[in-house]
Chains A and B, each alone.
Chain A
Amino acid sequence: MNMIAPGGPMNSVATRRRVLQWMACSLPMFWLSQAQATASTPERIVSMSWELTETLLALGRVPVGMSMPDWYRKTIVEPVLPDGVPSTGLLYQPSFEALRALNPDLLLLTPGHAGLLPALSHFAPALILGAYMFDPKPYQALQVETRKMADALGCSPQAEALIASTEDVIGGVRQRLALQPPLMSSPTFVADAVDERYLRVYGAGSLFDEMLQQLGASNAAHLTGSGEGRWATNGAGFALVPLQRLATYPDVNLLLMGPVPDAVRAALQGNPVWQAIPAVRQRRVAVMPVICPQGGLISMQRFVRAVEQALVQTSRREPAFV
């Protein structure tokens, strides 16, 4: 399993998740078993991944317990997690006492939990998903995994409806954008402002990159101009770069993923290097809502809608973010 890099100073939400993902991930994967659910559809599901919880909620089921629900509410805002879902502890170190109290029927795990599988199987059968996050073609892999989860839960029609509606949303946005060629004429960067000196730029191998391709927009992290090759990215599809790297791209839009903390925003406004970046000077920066870069299909729907809005905003050169 390819694990994600942390990057340096870490303020952003997405990186916290990354680091949590390695924070206790260690033992070798003995097997990637995908134990089938019991013959009757499982009712009490415990999820140990925020992204998988999103897909679970999108399929219409609510978990009886999950790892750190507050984190889900902060980083994957939709679909909304109902109140009262208890926590089972850290992502890779669930509390066995809590699991015993919850008495689950099915456990949703990621490949990083493979080391705990023998112990966890004392409680319930486990379904291992989430390998799509490190797949070179994550969108396809995400669709496959959504169908797999629905099969295990006995709600395949909902999965098909979800996949179809996502395709519709993407198709709709693509058509509307195609009607406005000026919006699509320049390449776009999608990045996280880690702090006032570094950005995390999403490139080849990330879901954001695939969504941009589906919309027909060009990701500036693929550009070969100015002597830059295609940007090297790590296993999760992003690269941690200093602000200077953006300085050599004169004609790009910059979409900053939310949330941008107030301290970072203030520091950027006082940073002369930031002010000198062409995209900032030409006011082609837009702030996007909080969307998880490895989220499920609902997150990707929100992403494409947000990209459409952001591109309209940047075309108007509004001083939304100086």
Chain B
Amino acid sequence: MSSPRLPSVYRGCLLLVASLLAVAVVLALFQVRTVLDGASLINGLFSPDPGDVHQVLVHDALLPRIAMALLCGSALGLAGTLMQQVLRNPLAEPMTLGVFPGAYLALSLFTLWFPVQVGAGRELIALAGGGLAMLVVFVLSWPQRLAPTAVILSGMVVNLYCGAVSLAIALTHFDLLAGLQIWGGGTLEQAGWQPSRHLASGLVACVIALCFIRRSLLLLDSGETTARSLGAKVERTRLIALLLAVVLTSLVVAQVGVIAFIGLAAPSLARMVGARTLYRRLLWTPCIGAAILLLTDQIVIVLSTAAPFSAHLIPTGTVTSLLGVPLLVALLPRLRAQAASGWKLNWPSGDGLTPRLAWGMAALLIVSLWLSFGLSRTLDGWRIATLPQVGELLFWQLPHTVAAAAAGTLLALAGTLLQRMTANPMASPDLLGVSAGGALGIIAALFITGHPSPAMMFVACLAGSLVTLGIMLWFGRSAFTPHRLLLVGVAVGAWLQSVVSATLSSGDPRAGEMLELVTGSTYYVIPTLAWASAGVALPGLCLVPLVARWLEAFALGEPGAASIGVPVARARVLVLLFAGVLTTMATLLVGPLSFVGLLAPHIARFAGARKPLQQLWMASVVGTVLMVLSEWLGRQLLFPEEMPAGLVATLLGGPYLILLMVYRRNRRA
């Protein structure tokens, strides 16, 4: 005899969806009533009189907005589920895999070069951009066999890179400042039903395609070998599923922009109320996603008509971004810890620090310094400066070159320390979250005091970094897992980007100062700060030999290191603190982003450094050269307009990083 009650999982999901929808519908009805202002509801809903603006508003603005929220929420929830199923990664979603930033960046570039917007073309461009970004994420995490942590880290790297490219576009082409909203500026404002119809037909097509692969997708749950032996075409299924997810994301991006973290929230909620099998998840996640997005959008509508916000703009995508990052942090424990030795240090064994290498490095350093002072563009073309001419501009150029050199050294040292300590090749000060925490501290100081002095900014940066460090140490207090450390850093970095995006799109007057910080410009570095940074970098270089022995021991793994007498827990904390202080100083100089800390250790290794001390010193020289050259290039590329040093370093560093990863893979094979 069958029970008359629904199974509990259905009850759970139904209850969740119904309650979310109920609140949203109440808010929506309230909106409809306000806008109608007495006009006929039936006419408003079905056949508006073109002369009555209230009916037109209900029919062509409010209702399409509701429909769009439901459709986008479903599409994103579905995309998130597919990605999580294929990658077996509970944190996979269009934002963390870089699909959203890649698609939006591709669209921005396309709109820049072809301002007339062709309808279907937008989706194809977004698809190409999103697909390319996801491909890069896989390439970067391939050496670690697409382990979940590696994928998330690589996704963050791709996100940061896309953000940097869009900033560069904004600096050079002021027309496209919308590119700054790459971290969630999607607005659901609608005018007419055309976009909703378009999205609905795309969604239906994807669902139909999904039906064809649902059985194979289900078999993936039981593991690869089982699935293959049962006849499922594993690779093809994975590819099609990921493609469908990217298509769904592109449909959303082409119509409304970036709405992040719905693809994370909906599957998590579905799992929490008990939908475990694939079919149940595929059924309920779109419903939950639709309900979440509708509720969020209705709340945003209510907020934006309130008095304090009425002169500003609150994009829905920004709100989901701000709320989604804490969710990301809360879900971090679900990520299974990977094996401690995820990365074998099996570089081609180098010769160490040969005299030839040392002289080569010194020569490179001298050349880059000469370039910085001696060779530049002027109004009449290139010229090599004579000594008196160098002297004329020395008051300006010297602090800048010193700041760039110091920042390069600091970041390279911090990056090497982190990579050695966590045995993860993607560990970098940028991803550690310390620089993001410092930047958040500076932003907080900006908003609290209005015009902070440089001393106050330094204190705020230090406070922010220390708080972030404290959070990370607290997270790892019982069992220090390097991957957990990096993931917290990712979350803090994501939070920074969301805050930046929210501030920019809200229209707050202080947004300009904040933007200046985020782009990483050394332009405003005052001489005091430059000398202070040199004052931190040089002692840092001198203190480094003290930790070199510990770093060598870490390569043996935790038990091995403990067995030769290294106080592992204390050593980790000290090394982390050291890296944190170095990064804080670098953030003040070049902002929270530049890939120097990620690249310099790799390049040093590549050039032949073997022992940690050699790698540290060589990496610091490489980092200095990279930053000084980036600063120089930033001044010359678009003369007389200047690009920030941190931005140039990021733009050049990204492709180089991909090349490095590909080359490493080939060498290993």
| B377 with A97: CB separation less than 8 A | yes
Contacts of A276 in B (CB 8 A): 50-53, 56-57, 60
- Select which of B50, B116, B313, B641 is within 8 A of A263 by beta carbon: B116
Which 9 interchain pairs have the tightest Cβ spacing? Answer: A22-B512, A5-B507, A89-B640, A95-B640, A8-B313, A276-B56, A3-B509, A28-B451, A272-B60
B207 at the interface (CB under 8 A from A): no
B213 at the interface (CB under 8 A from A): no
| A90 with B509: CB separation less than 8 A | no
Contacts of B517 in A (CB 8 A): 26
| A234 with B507: CB separation less than 8 A | yes
Determine how close the nearest CB of chain A comes to the CB of B467; give it in whole angstroms: 23
Mask of B39-66 contacts with A, CB within 8 angstroms, 1/0 = 0000000000011111011011100000
Assembly CA distance A243 to B311 (angstroms):
13
Assembly CA distance A283 to B60 (angstroms):
21
Counting chain B CB atoms within 10 Å of each CB, the highest count among A2, A8, A22, A96 belongs to A8
A19 at the interface (CB under 8 A from B): yes
**Given A89-B640, A95-B642, A5 contacting B516 (CB threshold 8 A):** no
A62 at the interface (CB under 8 A from B): no
* A86-103, CB < 8 A from B: 86-90, 93-98, 100-102
A316 at the interface (CB under 8 A from B): no
Contacts of A21 in B (CB 8 A): 512
| B512 with A90: CB separation less than 8 A | no
B174 at the interface (CB under 8 A from A): yes
Determine how close the nearest CB of chain B comes to the CB of A118; give it in whole angstroms: 9
Determine how close the nearest CB of chain B comes to the CB of A32; give it in whole angstroms: 13
* A233-251, CB < 8 A from B: 233-235, 239-244, 247-248
A317 at the interface (CB under 8 A from B): no
A222 at the interface (CB under 8 A from B): no
**Given A100-B393, A115-B524, A263 contacting B117 (CB threshold 8 A):** yes
Closest Cβ neighbor of B639 among chain A residues: A95
| B451 with A89: CB separation less than 8 A | no
**Given A9-B178, A23-B515, A97-B393, A240 contacting B507 (CB threshold 8 A):** yes
Contacts of B117 in A (CB 8 A): 263
A165 at the interface (CB under 8 A from B): no
**Given A22-B515, A272-B56, A5 contacting B508 (CB threshold 8 A):** yes
Assembly CA distance A117 to B631 (angstroms):
22
B395 at the interface (CB under 8 A from A): yes
Assembly CA distance A271 to B192 (angstroms):
7
Assembly CA distance A180 to B181 (angstroms):
47
Assembly CA distance A98 to B381 (angstroms):
11
**Given A24-B516, A24-B524, A272-B191, A8 contacting B57 (CB threshold 8 A):** no
**Given A22-B509, A119-B396, A274-B191, A98 contacting B378 (CB threshold 8 A):** yes
A270 at the interface (CB under 8 A from B): yes
Counting chain B CB atoms within 10 Å of each CB, the highest count among A15, A95, A277 belongs to A95
Contacts of A275 in B (CB 8 A): 50, 56
Contacts of B59 in A (CB 8 A): 272
| Further contacts, 11 of them, CB under 8 A, given A88-B640, A96-B396 | A5-B508, A6-B177, A94-B640, A98-B378, A101-B378, A244-B35, A248-B37, A248-B53, A270-B192, A272-B60, A276-B50
Assembly CA distance A196 to B195 (angstroms):
14
Mask of B161-177 contacts with A, CB within 8 angstroms, 1/0 = 00000000001001101
B376 at the interface (CB under 8 A from A): yes
Determine how close the nearest CB of chain B comes to the CB of A289; give it in whole angstroms: 20
Determine how close the nearest CB of chain B comes to the CB of A163; give it in whole angstroms: 30
B504 at the interface (CB under 8 A from A): yes
| B53 with A87: CB separation less than 8 A | no
Closest Cβ neighbor of B56 among chain A residues: A276
| B376 with A97: CB separation less than 8 A | yes
A16 at the interface (CB under 8 A from B): yes
A7 at the interface (CB under 8 A from B): yes
Counting chain A CB atoms within 10 Å of each CB, the highest count among B51, B185, B376, B641 belongs to B641
* A1-56, CB < 8 A from B: 2-11, 15-16, 19-29
Closest Cβ neighbor of A88 among chain B residues: B640
Closest Cβ neighbor of B503 among chain A residues: A6
A278 at the interface (CB under 8 A from B): yes
A161 at the interface (CB under 8 A from B): no
Closest Cβ neighbor of B392 among chain A residues: A100
- Select which of B35, B513, B641 is within 8 A of A90 by beta carbon: B641
Mask of B356-380 contacts with A, CB within 8 angstroms, 1/0 = 0000000000000000000011111
Contacts of B61 in A (CB 8 A): 244, 273
- Select which of B60, B453, B508 is within 8 A of A273 by beta carbon: B60
Determine how close the nearest CB of chain A comes to the CB of B173; give it in whole angstroms: 10
Closest Cβ neighbor of A24 among chain B residues: B516
- Select which of B175, B509, B513, B523 is within 8 A of A11 by beta carbon: B175
- Select which of A20, A86, A93 is within 8 A of B174 by beta carbon: A20
A305 at the interface (CB under 8 A from B): no
| A232 with B310: CB separation less than 8 A | yes
Assembly CA distance A118 to B598 (angstroms):
36
B505 at the interface (CB under 8 A from A): yes
| A89 with B642: CB separation less than 8 A | yes
Assembly CA distance A278 to B37 (angstroms):
16
| B53 with A277: CB separation less than 8 A | yes
Contacts of B312 in A (CB 8 A): 5, 240
Assembly CA distance A261 to B175 (angstroms):
12
- Select which of B508, B524, B639 is within 8 A of A27 by beta carbon: B524
Determine how close the nearest CB of chain A comes to the CB of B163; give it in whole angstroms: 16
24 contacts between A and B (CB under 8 A): A2-B509, A8-B185, A22-B511, A22-B516, A23-B171, A24-B516, A24-B523, A24-B524, A28-B451, A87-B641, A88-B640, A95-B642, A197-B191, A235-B509, A240-B311, A243-B191, A244-B57, A247-B54, A263-B115, A276-B51, A276-B52, A276-B60, A277-B53, A281-B51
